[in-house]
Amino acid sequence: MQNSDEQEPNETVSTMIGMTRIYASSLLGLSSCHSSTVWANYASHPRLAKRFASSMKALTSNTGQSPFHLATGYSWSELPPSSTVVDIGGSEGHVSAVIAQRHPYLNFVV
C-alpha cells in the first residue's frame, strides 16, 4: 500500500476533489439545519473563520496533498493567456497562489 506522501499527482488531484465534494456536502447539510449559512456564521465569528481557513490549509500541508500536484498535474498551459480561474471554496487562496506562481499568465478569483 502506498503512503499518502507517495501518491502520484493524478491520484492526489482526485483525492483533493473527492475531499472537497464530501466537505461541500457536509456544509450544505449544516446550512439546511440552521437559519443562516455557515459562511454567514463565519462572517460574524472571525476567530472561527480563521480556524477554518487554517484547517483547510493544513489539509494540503503534507507532500501527498500538496497544491504543487494540482499546479503541475493539470494542463494549465492549454488555457488561453489571461484566462480567469475561479477557485470556489478556496479559503485564503493558498492553492490558487501555488498555481499562479507556476502560471502567472492566468487570473485567479478566490
Rounded to two decimals, the pTM is 0.54
The answer to the question of residue 1 being in a domain is no
Q: What is the DSSP letter of 10?
A: H
Instruction: Report the number of distinct structural domains present in the chain.
Output: 1
Cα–Cα distance, 54 to 14 (Å, whole number)? 22
Q: Show pLDDT as tens, one digit a residue, over the chain (110 residues).
A: 444 455 455 555 555 555 555 555 555 555 555 567 777 877 888 888 888 778 777 766 766 677 788 888 889 999 999 999 999 877 788 889 999 999 999 999 99
The answer to the question of residue 4 being in a domain is no
The answer to the question of residue 26 being in a domain is yes
Residues in CB range of 101: below 8 A, 6 or more apart: 71
Q: Which domain holds residue 63?
A: 9-109
Alpha-helix residue ranges (DSSP H) falling in 34-81: 38-44, 46-59, 67-73
Contact status, residue 77 vs residue 103, Cβ threshold 8 Å = yes
Contact status, residue 15 vs residue 78, Cβ threshold 8 Å = no
